[in-house]
C-alpha cells in the first residue's frame, strides 16, 4: 500500500477541537500503535496522524527488503498484529492465496504487505497519513507542534515510533571506495561485480540477509564476515519439543547469576531430552522483568560479558536460511573471522558492507529530529545508551529526568528500559499499553 499525503497544514491556534495524536514513524511500531489507537476508541473526534518520511507504511528497516529470500526470524504463528487474535497473520495469508505454515517463516516483505493491508482495513476518517520527515517537535502548553519542511501540525500527544536507526559509520572508512554504508541498499549490493570479494562487518541477522543477497545469485562472489566474536546467530529447528518453562529465582539478581541459571536450565532440559531452544523461548516472556531486576552495573556487566551469547540464541535464523549459510561455508564462499576489522585485509576487498547493527546511542545520531529533541531536552539517552530514556510503560523521560507529559515511545528505542523490545510480540504489547495511556490522556484533556 503506497499512500499519498492527505494531511493539511494545521498551524497553532487551529479551531479544530479533535483529540489529535501524532505517530512519528510508519514502520511496524507506528502501524501497530495506530491499529491499537483506532481499535481502542470509537470516538469520531479522535484524529490519528502517522508521519512517515517515505509516505509508505509498514516497511521501515525491518520489513523494507525487496528480496523474498530474507525471511522473518519468528514463526508465523507468533507474528499477528493482535495478541488476542493470534491467527490474524495466517488468516491474511490464506485470504491472499497463500498456504502458510504456522511453524514457518514468511518473507519479510510479505509481513510489510500484511501490516499495510491490516491498517488499510482498519482505517477510517480518523486516520491521516502525512508523507514527509518530521524535523522538530516543540512543546506548546499542553500539546506539541510537529514541524516539517513545509508545514506545522499541532497534536495533543506524540508517539515516537521511529524504529531502528541506520548503522553507526565505520571509523576511518567513510571515504573508502566500495563502502556500502547502508546494508539495506539492495540495489548497491546487487550492482557489485559477479566475482566481487566482499567484507561484511558484522555477523548478526542483517549480515545474514546481506550474505544471501550477495551469494545466492552470483556463484563467483566470496564473502568474509567479521565481528568481534565471529559468531553467527543459531538456527531454529524444524520441530520444537516439549516447552520448558523456567522459574527464575526470587530476590536480587546479578548478570553472572542469571547466566549461570540459564546454563543450568539448558543442562536440565537436555537431561530430559528437551532442546536448549525451548529454554530460551520459555524465558522470553520473563526477560523484561529479569532486566528490570538487574541494577545499572549488573546491566552493564551483562552487556559486556553475556549479551552476545544470549542474542545469538535468542534471535535465530530460519532453518532454510541456516541451510543456505551452511552451504556457503561448506563451499568456501563464506568465511567467518573474529577479532574485528583489524583481523581482515581490506585491500583485497572490492566492497565493504556495514552490517554492524542499528545505531542505538541517540546522542551520536545524525537524525535531525533526534538532534532537535535532545537540544530541547525533550528526550535523552537511557543510561546504557541503548535508546531513549523512558518509563516501563512507555512515557518519555526528558533530559531533566522528568516524564514529558504527552510524549511516548514504542519499539526498539525502549531497549535500554526493557531489553526485549525489538520483536513483534513485544512491540504489539507496547503499542497496546501506550495506546491506552494516550487515549486516557486525550480523553481527559478534551
Please report whether residue 268 resides in a domain.
yes
Look up the CATH number of the domain holding residue 54. Answer: 3.50.50.60
User: What span, in angstroms and rounded, lies between the C-alpha atoms of 410 and 425?
Assistant: 12
Please report whether residue 8 resides in a domain.
no
Tell me, what DSSP letter sits at residue 136?
E
Are 278 and 244 in contact by the 8 Å Cβ rule? The answer is yes
DSSP string covering 332-380, please? TSEEEEES-GGGS-GGG-SEEEE-S-B---GGG---HHHHHHHHHTS--
Q: Are residues 302 and 433 in the same domain?
A: no
Q: Are residues 78 and 23 in the same domain?
A: yes
Domain of 274 in residue numbering reads as: 255-314
Please report whether residue 12 resides in a domain.
no
Please report whether residue 173 resides in a domain.
no
Return the residue matching grid coordinates 552451504.
327
What is the pTM assigned to this prediction? 0.93
Please report whether residue 13 resides in a domain.
no
Q: Are residues 291 and 320 in the same domain?
A: no
Are 11 and 154 in contact by the 8 Å Cβ rule? The answer is yes
DSSP SS3 for 377: coil
In the chain, how many domains are there? 3
Please report whether residue 170 resides in a domain.
no
User: What span, in angstroms and rounded, lies between the C-alpha atoms of 432 and 39?
Assistant: 10
Domain final position from 354, 377, 404: 354
Q: What is the pLDDT of residue 444?
A: 64
User: What span, in angstroms and rounded, lies between the C-alpha atoms of 444 and 114?
Assistant: 34
Q: Are residues 344 and 419 in the same domain?
A: no
Q: What is the pLDDT of residue 446?
A: 57
Domain final position from 336, 354, 372: 354
Please report whether residue 239 resides in a domain.
no
User: What span, in angstroms and rounded, lies between the C-alpha atoms of 133 and 54?
Assistant: 8
User: What span, in angstroms and rounded, lies between the C-alpha atoms of 399 and 338?
Assistant: 38
Per-residue pLDDT tens, the chain, 446 aa: give them: 433 344 444 444 443 567 999 999 999 999 999 999 999 988 788 999 999 999 999 998 889 999 999 999 999 999 999 999 999 999 999 999 988 899 999 999 999 999 999 999 999 999 999 999 999 999 998 899 999 998 999 999 999 999 999 999 998 898 899 999 999 999 999 999 999 999 999 999 999 999 999 999 999 999 999 999 999 999 999 866 667 877 888 888 999 999 999 999 999 999 999 999 999 999 988 999 999 999 999 999 999 999 999 999 999 999 999 999 999 999 999 999 999 999 999 999 999 999 999 999 999 999 999 999 999 999 999 999 999 999 999 999 999 999 999 999 999 999 999 999 999 999 999 999 999 999 999 876 65
User: What span, in angstroms and rounded, lies between the C-alpha atoms of 282 and 248?
Assistant: 11
Kindly state the cell numbers that stand for 204. 548478526
Q: Are residues 99 and 211 in the same domain?
A: no
User: What span, in angstroms and rounded, lies between the C-alpha atoms of 217 and 189?
Assistant: 12
Q: What is the pLDDT of residue 252?
A: 87
Q: Are residues 216 and 79 in the same domain?
A: no
Length reported for the chain: 446
User: What span, in angstroms and rounded, lies between the C-alpha atoms of 50 and 266?
Assistant: 44
Are 318 and 285 in contact by the 8 Å Cβ rule? The answer is no
Ramachandran region, residue 385 (left: φ > 0; alpha: ψ -120 to 50; beta: rest): left
Q: Are residues 335 and 207 in the same domain?
A: yes
Q: Are residues 23 and 159 in the same domain?
A: yes
Domain final position from 324, 354, 384: 354
Whose CA is closest to 439, among 123, 163, 156?
A: 156
Please report whether residue 2 resides in a domain.
no
Q: What angle do CA 312, 314, 319 make, to 5 degrees?
A: 80
What's the Cα-to-Cα distance from 361 to each of 164, 234, 252, 416, rounded to whole Å? 11, 26, 28, 10
Q: Are residues 279 and 428 in the same domain?
A: no
Return the residue matching grid coordinates 508523507.
131
What's the Cα-to-Cα distance from 99 to each of 15, 63, 102, rounded to whole Å? 50, 21, 10
User: What span, in angstroms and rounded, lies between the C-alpha atoms of 79 and 425?
Assistant: 7
Q: Are residues 140 and 151 in the same domain?
A: yes
Measured distance between the N- and C-terminal CA atoms of the chain, rounded to whole angstroms: 33
Q: Are residues 273 and 226 in the same domain?
A: no
Q: Are residues 69 and 155 in the same domain?
A: yes
3-state helix, strand, coil in the chain (%, to 5): 40, 20, 45
Residue 354 CA to chain centroid, in angstroms?
A: 17
Amino acid at each position: 500500500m503506497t499512500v499519498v499525503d492527505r494531511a493539511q497544514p494545521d498551524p497553532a491556534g487551529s479551531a479544530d477541537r479533535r483529540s489529535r495524536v501524532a505517530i512519528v514513524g510508519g514502520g511496524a511500531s507506528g502501524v501497530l500503535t495506530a491499529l491499537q489507537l483506532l481499535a481502542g476508541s470509537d470516538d469520531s473526534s479522535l484524529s490519528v496522524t502517522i508521519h512517515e518520511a517515505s509516505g509508505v507504511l509498514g516497511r521501515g528497516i525491518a520489513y523494507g527488503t525487496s528480496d523474498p529470500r530474507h525471511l522473518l526470524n519468528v514463526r508465523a504463528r507468533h507474528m499477528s498484529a493482535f495478541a488476542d487474535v493470534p491467527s490474524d497473520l495466517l488468516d491474511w495469508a490464506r485470504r491472499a492465496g497463500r498456504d502458510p505454515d504456522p511453524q514457518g517463516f514468511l518473507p519479510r516483505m510479505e509481513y510489510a504487505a500484511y501490516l499495510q493491508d491490516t491498517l488499510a482495513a482498519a482505517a477510517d476518517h480518523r486516520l491521516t497519513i502525512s508523507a514527509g520527515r518530521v524535523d522538530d517537535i516543540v512543546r506548546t502548553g499542553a500539546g506539541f507542534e510537529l514541524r516539517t519542511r513545509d508545514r506545522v501540525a499541532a497534536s495533543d500527544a506524540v508517539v515516537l515510533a521511529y524504529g531502528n536507526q541506520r548503522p553507526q559509520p565505520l571509523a576511518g572508512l567513510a571515504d573508502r571506495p566500495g563502502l556500502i554504508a547502508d546494508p539495506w541498499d539492495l540495489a548497491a549490493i546487487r550492482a557489485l561485480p559477479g566475482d566481487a570479494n566482499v567484507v561484511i562487518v558484522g555477523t548478526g541477522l542483517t549480515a545474514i540477509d546481506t550474505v544471501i543477497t550477495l551469494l545466492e545469485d552470483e556463484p563467483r562472489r566470496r564473502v568474509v564476515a567479521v565481528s568481534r566474536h565471529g559468531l553467527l546467530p543459531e538456527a531454529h529447528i524444524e520441530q520444537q519439543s516439549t516447552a520448558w518453562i523456567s522459574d527464575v529465582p526470587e530476590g536480587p539478581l546479578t548478570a553472572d547469576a542469571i547466566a549461570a541459571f540459564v546454563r543450568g536450565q539448558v543442562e536440565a532440559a537436555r537431561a530430559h531430552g528437551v532442546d536448549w531452544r525451548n529454554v530460551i523461548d520459555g524465558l522470553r516472556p520473563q526477560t523484561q522483568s529479569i532486566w528490570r531486576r538487574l541494577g545499572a552495573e549488573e546491566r552493564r556487566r551483562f552487556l559486556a560479558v553475556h549479551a552476545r551469547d544470549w542474542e545469538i540464541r535468542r534471535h535465530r535464523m530460519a532453518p532454510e536460511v541456516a541451510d543456505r549459510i551452511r552451504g556457503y561455508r561448506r563451499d568456501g564462499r563464506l568465511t567467518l573471522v573474529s577479532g574485528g576489522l583489524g583481523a581482515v585485509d581490506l585491500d583485497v576487498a572490492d566492497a565493504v558492507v556495514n552490517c554492524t547493527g542499528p545505531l542505538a546511542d541517540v546522542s551520536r545520531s545524525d537524525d535531525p529530529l533526534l538532534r532537535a529533541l535532545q537540544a530541547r531536552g525533550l528526550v535523552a539517552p537511557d543510561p546504557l545508551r541503548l535508546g531513549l530514556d523512558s518509563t516501563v510503560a512507555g512515557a518519555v523521560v526528558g533530559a531533566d529526568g522528568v516524564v514529558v507529559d504527552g510524549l511516548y515511545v514504542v519499539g526498539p528505542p525502549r531497549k535500554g528500559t526493557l531489553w526485549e523490545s525489538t520483536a513483534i510480540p513485544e512491540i504489539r504489547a507496547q503499542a497496546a499499553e501506550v495506546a491506552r495511556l494516550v487515549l486516557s490522556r486525550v480523553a481527559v484533556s478534551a
